[in-house]
Amino acid sequence: MSVTVTYFGHAAFTLSDGTHTVAIDPFFSGNPLAEAAGLTKESINPTHIALTHGHVDHVGDTLEIATRCSSQVIGAFEICEWVAEQGYEAVNPGNPGGRFDTDFGWIAFTQAFHSSSYEGRYMGMPCGLVVNLGGKTIYHAGDTGLFSDMALIGELYTPDLAILPIGDRFTMGPEHASRAAEMIKPGLTVPCHFGTWDLIDVDPSRFAPKGIPVKVLEVGGSFELT
Ligand code: NI
Ligand code: MN
């Protein structure tokens, strides 16, 4: 089995097994990388939308996409509460440490060291997400600083792919992200959350974990995880 991984710039990805498509942090409107590549909120048709945290550059176009595609929205308890208050009821909440089965496989929430709010409202704990679909396991760390329990996340979930932020300032920079990948020990790692704005404009060649293959995706680019 395989999974198609597609990158939309910043922290936005889709993971698809051909039947189910999980969009993570679908930020299109106002995302300079997506806009430069001609990608919009109409570019994806996810069955599920999973959110790492409540910041606007991660919630992005969730409500519009979910409404158009009838996607199930997965996220922290407080994010799901907010989504439901907006009139969209198909939510599936969790919190760090939790795992639950889904119709594509399962999803787990990990800790992330960051903050989480939307228009001034508390949005619960920021999270990383571990998504199992198509027989593959993908860890999207969300926005986070480096923490040594990433080694435990690697041990518990043995991810085939780790998607890690490298843009520095708000998250790990490339050197810390390299240490993260070395602790997680995934089969492959993909950097994200860099180059979107000047504040997080780092050279991805600085992301060079020892012994872990790195794939830097073009915005709009995809590959098969086999
Ligand atoms: Ni954030
Ligand atoms: Mn962010």
Torsion of CA 86, 91, 95, 99, to 10 degrees: -170
Single pTM value for the model: 0.98
Q: What is the per-residue pLDDT for 1?
A: 82
Strand (E) positions, the chain?
Answer: 3-7, 13-16, 21-24, 48-50, 72-76, 91-94, 99-101, 105-111, 117-118, 121-122, 127-133, 136-140, 161-165, 188-192, 222-225
Question: What is the Å distance from ligand 1's center to 117 Cα?
Answer: 9
Phi and psi at 146, nearest 5°, equal -70, 140
Nearest ligand to the C-alpha atom of residue 112: 1
The three-state secondary structure class of 201 is: coil
Strand bridging mode 72-76 / 91-94: parallel
Per cent of the chain over pLDDT 90 is 100
> What separation in Å is there between the alpha carbon of 1 and the centre of ligand 1?
32
Quick one: pLDDT at residue 103? Answer: 94
Percent share of the chain, pLDDT over 70: 100
Q: List, for residues 78-96, the tens digit of each pLDDT value.
A: 999 999 999 999 999 999 9
Instruction: Tell me, in angstroms, the distance from the centre of ligand 1 to residue 125's CA.
Output: 11
The pLDDT, as a whole number, for residue 14 is: 98
Q: What is the 144 CA–ligand 1 centroid distance (Å)?
A: 8
Cα–Cα nearest to 188, from 221, 218, 223: 223
Q: For the chain, how many residues are written? A: 226
**Residues 121-163 pLDDT 10s:** 999 999 999 999 999 999 999 999 999 999 999 999 999 999 9
Cα(197) to centroid of ligand 1, in Å? 14
Name the DSSP class of 28: -
Each residue's pLDDT, cut to its tens digit, for the chain (226 residues) gives 899 999 999 999 999 999 999 999 999 999 999 999 999 999 999 999 999 999 999 999 999 999 999 999 999 999 999 999 999 999 999 999 999 999 999 999 999 999 999 999 999 999 999 999 999 999 999 999 999 999 999 999 999 999 999 999 999 999 999 999 999 999 999 999 999 999 999 999 999 999 999 999 999 999 999 9
Distance 1 CA to ligand 2 centre (A): 31
58 Cα–ligand 1 center, Å: 7
Q: Say how far apart CA 71 and CA 88 lie, in whole Å.
A: 10
Q: What stretches of 70-160 show up as alpha helix (H) in DSSP?
A: 77-85, 150-157
